[in-house]
Structure 1
């Protein structure tokens, strides 16, 4: 993506809700080289921040409820979580959690868009978000799977003011024209059965090698490595606990 720091409206953080924190730490440390540090405060709920060098790049945590799916969540930056939360409701989305303070680090919201895809808001205070993007092991793209593409465009441009472009029939999201993600909209009658969701893509040095490493560690390749015409080389993977994520070759511009 063309963003390299957290900005209002852009993806600023990703976190994994998992059924086995210890196993997830081992899997992603081996795959991406993450150094994971768990917050020991009881009220932090074993929230674990993954680092590359000194830069925070993602978080892992136990699911708060067993009924919730094991999944990665994407957070978008905002300068005012309360105002953006109201805009989400007014635009047809639903706020599930918050706005709420997270210690002194920031203010947090969990929401659904009108199609049912979950996402989060983050109003950074002492913690603005990820300290590294687009480098191997860090976030580099986010992609929405939507049932109704037109409705999704209306919602997200209303709430965040995103710019919208197209490339080979692929919708691209941007902040001020700087692309950070895209959308795959299922055509009527072609529903895959997969619920609408946001999928994070992490940069890697070698997509094929990372796919092999993930599968050797108990993961699954949902989409084997493929080179997108005029785009990056990508793969879509599932970790051993069931969370899905993508990888792309860091030298390629998504």
Structure 2
């Protein structure tokens, strides 16, 4: 039995603006095992990617939604879900990360269809940067579905918004740039008018628990939350945390290789604040 059918998730147009979240990748050790797990839990199918034998593209029907890359061991990076942000120049963006006390772990690296960077912000949350080689070469954003939402759990939302704003030109006034809005202790990031990410305060850098340390949380909206959680447990995953939030519930799961991801029945990221 598969998990809930994500083809019923809310619709969304593709993002094209600079510095918008443009893709999510799973860094894993075993491509085949990851594909089997997410096919059963999220109903995805997979096709070979253009980046080599260790890369595949997850799809909901015919819609590309995520990448799965078996390079965790080769690049000595953690098994994890990671968001990517579109940039015009990977070298410039990587230099900005370093100048602001962030870390560049890999890249800029030319990979077939563009140039990528694996980095972390100054509080240790990992993320990627992607410079597309040409207009049609970046990882395709889904045309018909909201594929994933992002939440940065960090030490201080205001400081993090400044870091990412300076690296990615958020709120710069440039055409198509993402804007930020401060709501109490949270920051909402809107790209092309749509809320795509939240930044929340309260994470602890030295915490043993990875859920408490600063990290980017990748959230997948699903139609049947209970069925998805059950399917994850049946296929070797584990429930890590369940939270009641405005508009519904978020459940953080661990896949068999240790990567954390969140499934939610919340219909919009703006309605996903804690209650």
TM-score, with length taken from structure 1: 0.84
1:245 aligned counterpart, secondary structure = strand
User: Is the 8 Å Cα contact of residues 79 and 259 (structure 2) preserved in structure 1?
Assistant: yes
RMSD: 2.8
Tell me which residue corresponds to 2:238. 220
> Partner of 2:61 in structure 1?
53
| Distance (Å, rounded) in 2 between the aligned partners of 1:89 and 1:248 | 34
The alpha-carbon deviation at position 154 of structure 1 amounts to: 1.5
CA distance in 1, matches of 2:91, 2:201: 29
> For the residues of structure 1 that align with 2:13 and 2:97, how far apart are their CA atoms?
25
The answer to whether the 8 A contact 2:54-2:69 is kept is yes
Tell me the residue number matched to 1:241. Answer: 257
Question: C-alpha distance in 2, partners of 1:101/1:223?
Answer: 37
Q: More strand by proportion, 1 or 2?
A: 1
8 Å CA contact 1:234, 1:249 repeated in 2: yes
Tell me, in whole angstroms, the C-alpha distance in 1 between the residues paired with 2:78 and 2:205: 26
Write the deviation string for residues 189-241 of structure 1: whole angstroms up to 9, x where unpaired.
995643322111112112222112112222111123x4412x34321111111
Q: What is aligned with 2:26?
A: 16
Query: Residue 190 of structure 2: SS of its match in structure 1?
Result: strand
C-alpha contact (below 8 Å) 1:15/1:73 kept by paired residues: yes
The offset of 1:94, in angstroms, is 2.2
* Aligned 8 A contact 1:165 1:171 in 2: yes
Match of 2:154 in 1: 146
The equivalent position to 2:139 in structure 1, one of 97, 121, 129, is 129
The question of 1:29 aligning with 2:44 is answered no
The reply to whether residue 99 of structure 1 matches residue 97 of structure 2 is: no
Could you list the per-position Cα deviations for residues 85-123 of structure 1 after superposition, in whole angstroms to 9, with x for gaps in the alignment?
2222222222222222211x1121111111111111112
Distance 1:210 1:130, change over 3 A: farther
Q: Secondary structure, in 3 states, of the residue corresponding to 2:148?
A: strand
Runs of at least 5 residues in structure 1 that lack an aligned partner in the other structure: none
Matched residue SS, 1:215: helix
Scaled by the length of structure 2, the TM-score of the pair is 0.78
Is 2:155–2:205's contact at 8 Å kept on the other side of the alignment? no
Give distance in 1, aligned partners of 2:153 and 2:259.
Answer: 15
Q: How does 1:185-224 map to 2 (within 5 A)?
A: 185-186=201-202, 191=207, 193-194=209-210, 195-224=213-242
Q: CA deviation at 1:64?
A: 4.1
For residue 82 of structure 1, what is the aligned residue in structure 2? 91
